[in-house]
Structure 1
């Protein structure tokens, strides 16, 4: 049986404001600060950009993991992030706590390919995920994903269903 309360929920990620807002029946339920791509907006493979347009939450990953659990290739490593681990691996793009894996819905924009090549959000592994709490929010610093505070992504994860609409807008 489908939960009707989730059918009218949606997420909107605003790049200009660096926010993720959950709406239910066009009413704001909750808003979080985020960090999108330092390379700006775009959907091409290897661009390091955050894709625009209509998406869905394709997969929820990590629901039973502890806060600050480290993921590599969407698999928990067994590590728990702390400042010492961060110093040991200064170049790692940390994916922590929870993953909401996005899939684009617009052919040639964020799904499939276009004249420049692959532009598929899902195949680019674009997520909403936790990041070290030492990382800045409210400014674009990611490699394409949407980064959130660990407490925030855990809270959001519990309110999101697979298939929930996610729209990424410029402003």
Structure 2
């Protein structure tokens, strides 16, 4: 197998692998609601996925995205204070598509239609602790490094066990 991404929900860790060898590794933050595939659950979907789209290649670190579009804003404490309820999607987006029909693809369990991403988050957000609304969060430097190591169609495994 070529390079692929493995995300461990229990360890809150993302590994880029070449076959079974770990090439790079970072802490992440997955869903506060735990693991699950159902639309509206707020959970991180499990199983095999692939990168459907890579968004924000030339955006500066901290760029704010809403509905996968850059807003022209760059995250700052003042911006955070002005929008305290916003779920910040920053810097880069890797949009996932489920690869397992009936489990994470299609119907009420479709990861792509749930807008499940790997994306940047403010540096003040802790890693290694489940706190997202279903996505996989990384700090800006890590999402940029990950983005630069990925390609569309790259396999992604999200597992609830190691």
Q: Quick one: distance in 1 between partners of 2:77 and 2:133?
A: 21
For the residues of structure 2 that align with 1:139 and 1:108, how far apart are their CA atoms?
A: 29
Deviation at 1:135, TM superposition (A): 0.6
Structure 1 position 96 matched with structure 2 position 86: no
- Distance in structure 2 (CA, Å) of the matches to 1:138 and 1:18: 5
TM-score w.r.t. length of structure 2: 0.98
Aligned counterparts of 1:44 and 1:27: Cα–Cα separation in 2: 32
Aligned length: 161
Tell me by how many angstroms 1:25 deviates. 2.3
1:93 and 1:148 map into 2 onto residues whose CA distance is: 13
Partner of 2:95: helix, strand, or coil? strand
What per-residue deviation string (whole Å, max 9, x for no partner) do you get for residues 130-170 of structure 1? 00000111010000000001100001100100000000001
- Which consecutive unaligned segments of at least 5 residues does structure 1 have? 1-6
Matched, 1:22 2:16: yes
Q: Aligned pair 1:13/2:7, yes or no?
A: yes
Q: How does 1:57-136 map to 2 (within 5 A)?
A: 57-113=51-107, 118-136=108-126
Give runs of ≥4 in structure 1 deviating > 2 Å.
none
The alpha-carbon deviation at position 75 of structure 1 amounts to 0.1
Per-residue CA distance 1:32-56 (angstroms, 9 max, x = gap): 0000000000011111000000000
* Larger Rg over CA atoms: 1
Aligned to 1:158: 148
Q: TM-score, normalised by structure 1?
A: 0.93
- Computed over aligned residues only, the root mean square deviation of the Cα atoms, in angstroms, reads 0.7
- Runs of 5+ unmatched residues, structure 2: none
Whole-Å separation in 2 of the counterparts to 1:108 and 1:78: 38
